Amino acid sequence: MKYCFGVDIGGTTIKMGLFEEDGKIADKWEITTDTSEEGKSILPNTAASIEKKIEEHGLDKNDIAGIGVGVPAPVTSEGVVNGTANLGWSYKEVKRELEEMTGLKTVVGNDANVAALGEMWKGGGEGEKNMIMITLGTGVGGGVIIDGKMLVGENGAGGEIGHLCVNYEETDCCGCGNRGCVEQYASATGIVRLAKQKLGQDMRPTILNKEDVTAKDVFDAVKAGDEAAKDIAAVFGRYLGYGLANLAVIADPAVFVIGGGVSKAGEVLIPYIREPYMERAFFANKNVRFVLAKLGNDAGICGAAKLILDNE
C-alpha cells in the first residue's frame, strides 16, 4: 500500500491529509499558519507535522509517494513562488525546501488549480478530464484542467478566471487595476457591490437590508422570491455566464464545477449562470454541464494528493 500527503496552505490554516493511493483519506488534520517573520516557519512547521504523522502511523518513507502542496499564489512548474498576498513569502522555492526537509518528493501547484484537480478526482468533475472549476469566494478563482492536467501557464498564472473582462463599459476598478473583470460581479464582494448599487436605486419593497447586505442574504432572498434580489442574481449570472462562454471557447470543457462560499447557495445559482452562458456560448460548447463542487474544504488536500500521485 502506497501513501501520500496532500497539503493545502492557506493564510489562516494549513490543512493536511494522509491519503491511500486509491484516494481514501487515512487521516486529516490542520495546523495554524504562522505568517510572522515573512512566513519563515510555514514550511518547517508543515514538514514537522508530516514527520510526526509518519511516526504516529508507523509508516515507512519508502511507501510514501510524496507530498502534494497547494499554495495561494502563482507557482511555476519548478515549484517556485514569486510572491504571495497572504503568507508573507516573497521568492520561495517551495518544492526544493520541502524536499530537503522531509526527504520526500514534493510537487507544488496554485491552490485554485489544485482544488480543481481535487474536484476532478473525487468531486463534481469526477470521471471528466476536461473541466473548469470556478471558486466564488471573496474573489473569483479558478482552475482549468485540460486532458487531466492543470493548466499552469508560463508564469503560473493560468486560469485566472476572475480577471476575464466581461464588461468593457464598466467604470469601477477591480482589485487588479482593470475594469469589468468577472470578479467585480461574481465574487461575494462583487455581489455585495451589485446589491448596494441596485438597492440604492430600486424603490420596490425588498426583504434585503440595504445597509448591511451579504452575498448569502441575496441568494436567501432569491429563494424567498424577492424580486430585487432576483435582479441582482441576474446581473451576477449574466457576467459570470458571459465569462464562462469566453472561457469555454478557449478550453472546451465537459463540465463547469462551481465552488467557493457563494456556491453554498446551492442549485438556485445554476440557472442564473447557465442561461446567459447559453446565450453567448459558441455552438461547439453548448452541451457543457454545470455542477456544484462537492468536496468543500477538502478539495485542496485531495487535489494536492492527486498532484503527487499523477507525478509518481
- The residues that touch a second copy, with contacts defined as CB under 8 A, are 74, 77, 128, 130, 144, 146-147, 149, 151-161, 163-169, 176-178, 242, 245-247, 249-254, 280, 282-285, 287-288
Q: Could you tell me the smallest distance in angstroms from the CB atom of residue 210 to a second copy? A: 29
Distance CA 288, CA 282 (A): 11
Q: Could you tell me the smallest distance in angstroms from the CB atom of residue 94 to a second copy? A: 18
Name which of 11 and 148 has its Cβ closer to a second copy: 148
Q: Could you tell me the smallest distance in angstroms from the CB atom of residue 160 to a second copy? A: 5
Amino acid 248 reads A
Nearest to 113 by CA among 81, 80, 74: 74
Q: Could you tell me the smallest distance in angstroms from the CB atom of residue 130 to a second copy? A: 4
- Close Cβ partners of 72 (under 8 Å, ≥ 6 residues apart): 9, 10, 11, 84, 85, 86, 87, 110, 111
Name which of 8 and 160 has its Cβ closer to a second copy: 160
Name which of 192 and 254 has its Cβ closer to a second copy: 254
Angle (CA) 261 117 80, round 5°: 95
Name which of 142 and 300 has its Cβ closer to a second copy: 142
Number of C-beta neighbours around residue 239 at 10 A: 26
| CA-to-CA dists, residue 142 to 43, 234, 247, angstroms | 25, 21, 11
Helix 215-223 / helix 227-251 crossing angle, nearest 10 deg: 110
Name which of 138 and 246 has its Cβ closer to a second copy: 246
| CA-to-CA dists, residue 162 to 8, 141, 188, 198, angstroms | 21, 6, 12, 22
Name which of 46 and 167 has its Cβ closer to a second copy: 167
Q: Where on the phi/psi map is residue 140: left (φ > 0), alpha (ψ -120 to 50), or beta?
A: beta
How does strand 106-110 pair with strand 91-93? unpaired
Cell readout for 3 is 501513501
Q: Phi and psi of 164, rounded to 5°?
A: -65, 135
Q: Could you tell me the smallest distance in angstroms from the CB atom of residue 158 to a second copy? A: 4
Q: Could you tell me the smallest distance in angstroms from the CB atom of residue 5 to a second copy? A: 25
Name which of 123 and 158 has its Cβ closer to a second copy: 158
Q: Could you tell me the smallest distance in angstroms from the CB atom of residue 279 to a second copy? A: 9
Amino acid 192 reads V
Distance CA 123, CA 7 (A): 17
Q: Could you tell me the smallest distance in angstroms from the CB atom of residue 242 to a second copy? A: 7
Name which of 118 and 253 has its Cβ closer to a second copy: 253
Cell readout for 85 is 498576498
